[in-house]
Structure formats: structure tokens, C-alpha cells
């Protein structure tokens, strides 16, 4: 269980994000804060009260939070490193890299019959202005759906970087209607890192909203589970991951974070002692 003073920081950090960030996150109840403090992630549906009828993005998205007892840099590396992984049904490849840690990526998901596969292009970027305005307390990796671009889609197929993607599967895939979201990390100091996430996907066609939301919740829980493994501790700088300001992270910086984590700062050590008297 985290120290009460640290738990008290969370509403203030979320309020700070609501003022300086681009997305809207719901407030957390005392019970939800206690759940987070106990080390349990939260994943839920959230209806944006500002959404207008006819918006391309649904008014109902998936949001989640988790506290990880590790330095923010290791959590960030683990989060973005895991996003580079693909699964049997979900594949992706980075097509082009842009300045300040931004890149364009192609994604393909193999949906079960009777649904057609889906594919899409994303612009992924770091919110450097948020990092500056928050005095580096908050980092955000965000993504948004790019308009359908046949030339970029063909370029993605031509790379042959998506295993098992046949020409027919590619041609039969349906382009997504909407996909936007962000991973936001808040520095809690010696107590670790708060991760907040927002995800809103519309697969289009006749896929029921409930199925889409279930998929998004499952995907978010998968990412949270991966965070606990702290794969960022093995970061080598190849491929390079950029921090919340869009600055490349060196292997040396990751190793310093690993050493800091291994030394167990007093607050972290104290919280572990309280959990295991």
C-alpha cells in the first residue's frame, strides 16, 4: 500500500493534466484511489461529456490507470517497448520516423470470422509541450488515425514486414473509422510511476460496439500486465525510444534508472515492508 501523501498527489496530477493535456480523463473516487494504491490496475469505460453527436471518435472510450513501483524512465521504456511488440493476430510496422520522437506506423489485425480484417495508419508522437508545461512531471505518448492513404498502405505491404499478410488479406482489409488515444506517465518520485491511458477505437462496419470496447479493454490490460515485467530494464537503445520531450533515450540513461531501482529508495523499501510485515 502506498503512503497516503503519495496517493493524495494523484488527483492533483490528474487535475494538472486536465489543464495542460489534450485528452479528458475522469476523476477517481476514493475507492478507486485505494485500489490503485494497493497495486491493482483500473480499466473502465468512460463517456466524454464534451463529445458532440456525429464525432468520428466514439463518446464512449476505455481508460485505465496503474501504479508501477519503478522509476518513470523504466516504465516509459517498458510501455513503448511493449507497444513495438506484435501478437499472432495484431501486427504493425513503423513506416517513417519524424522529428521529436514522432513516427507513422501501419497496423493490421486479423479478426475472427465473419468479420473482415482491419488495418490502419497511425501518427504517433510525444507531447513535448505537456512535458515542458508540467516541468517534466508528465510525459505523454499519443496516437491518432491518419486519413486513408493508398500509397502509404501499399508501402506498408511492400515492406513485407507483417508476417503472414497475403495480398488477398491486405486487399480485403477494412480501414478503421477512428482510433485515438494516449499513454500518460506521471512521476511519483521514489514511490514509482502512475500510468494513465485513454483509448478510443471504432472498427467500422457491423462490429458491435460492445465487442470493440471489450477488445480495447483486453488490449489495455495486456499492456498493463507487460509493464509489471519492466522490460525497459533491458533497453539497449536499438531501436531508439524517445522520452516525453522527444529526446532519444540512451542505454546509459536506462542503466542509471536500473541502478536507482535496484537500490530501493527509502520510500519504496518502506512501502514493501508495510506490505510484508
Listed in sequence order, the DSSP H helices in the chain are 4-20, 30-37, 72-83, 128-133, 150-158, 167-172, 209-227, 251-262, 266-275
Q: How confident is residue 88, by pLDDT bands cut at 50, 70 and 90?
A: low
Omega before residue 225 within 30° of 0, cis: no
More confident residue, 242 or 38: 242
Write out the three cell numbers for 91.
501486427
Place of cell 537500490: 263
> What does the chain come to in residues?
277
Grade residue 103 by pLDDT with cuts at 50, 70 and 90. very high
Mean local confidence (pLDDT), 199-210 = 80
Contact status, residue 233 vs residue 258, Cβ threshold 8 Å: yes
Instruction: Record the pTM.
Output: 0.86
Given a cut of 60, whether residue 87 has pLDDT beyond it is: no
232-241 mean pLDDT: 91
Domains and CATH numbers, the chain: 4-269 (3.30.530.20)
Q: Average of pLDDT values for 25-35?
A: 90
Instruction: Tell me: pLDDT of 226 over 90.
Output: no
CA distances in angstroms from 134 to 5, 16, 148, 185, 246, listed in the order given: 20, 8, 34, 12, 15
Q: Which of 7-16, 94-103, 131-140 has the lowest mean pLDDT?
A: 7-16
Q: What is the pLDDT of residues 131-162, one digit of tens each?
A: 999 999 999 999 999 999 999 999 889 888 78
Percent of the chain residues past pLDDT 90, beyond the cut: 43
CA pair distance 41, 185, nearest whole angstrom: 14
Amino acid at each position: 500500500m502506498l503512503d497516503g501523501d503519495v496517493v493524495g498527489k494523484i488527483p492533483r496530477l490528474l487535475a494538472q493534466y486536465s489543464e495542460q493535456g489534450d485528452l479528458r480523463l475522469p476523476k477517481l473516487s476514493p475507492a478507486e484511489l485505494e485500489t490503485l494504491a494497493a497495486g491493482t490496475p483500473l480499466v473502465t469505460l468512460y463517456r466524454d461529456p464534451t463529445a458532440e453527436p456525429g464525432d468520428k471518435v466514439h463518446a464512449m472510450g476505455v481508460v485505465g490507470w496503474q501504479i508501477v513501483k519503478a522509476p518513470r524512465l523504466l516504465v516509459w521504456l517498458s510501455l513503448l517497448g511493449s507497444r513495438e511488440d506484435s501478437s499472432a493476430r495484431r501486427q504493425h510496422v513503423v513506416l517513417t520516423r519524424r522529428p521529436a520522437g514522432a513516427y507513422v506506423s501501419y497496423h493490421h489485425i486479423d479478426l475472427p470470422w465473419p468479420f473482415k480484417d482491419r488495418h490502419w495508419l497511425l501518427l504517433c508522437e510525444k507531447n513535448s509541450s505537456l512535458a515542458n508545461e508540467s516541468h517534466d512531471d508528465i510525459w505523454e505518448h499519443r496516437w491518432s488515425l491518419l486519413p486513408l492513404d493508398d500509397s502509404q498502405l501499399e508501402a506498408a505491404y511492400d515492406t513485407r514486414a507483417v508476417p503472414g499478410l497475403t495480398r488477398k488479406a491486405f486487399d480485403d482489409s477494412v480501414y478503421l473509422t477512428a482510433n485515438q488515444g494516449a499513454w500518460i506517465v506521471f512521476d511519483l518520485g521514489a514511490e514509482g510511476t502512475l500510468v494513465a491511458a485513454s483509448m478510443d477505437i471504432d472498427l467500422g462496419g457491423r462490429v458491435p460496439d460492445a465487442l470493440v470496447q471489450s477488445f480495447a479493454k483486453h488490449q489495455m490490460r495486456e499492456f498493463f500486465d507487460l509493464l509489471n515485467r519492466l522490460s525497459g530494464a533491458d533497453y539497449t537503445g536499438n531501436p531508439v525510444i524517445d522520452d516525453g520531450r522527444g529526446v532519444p533515450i540512451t542505454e546509459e540513461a536506462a542503466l542509471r534508472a536500473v541502478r536507482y531501482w535496484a537500490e530501493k529508495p527509502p520510500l519504496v523499501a518502506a512501502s514493501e515492508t508495510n506490505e510484508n510485515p
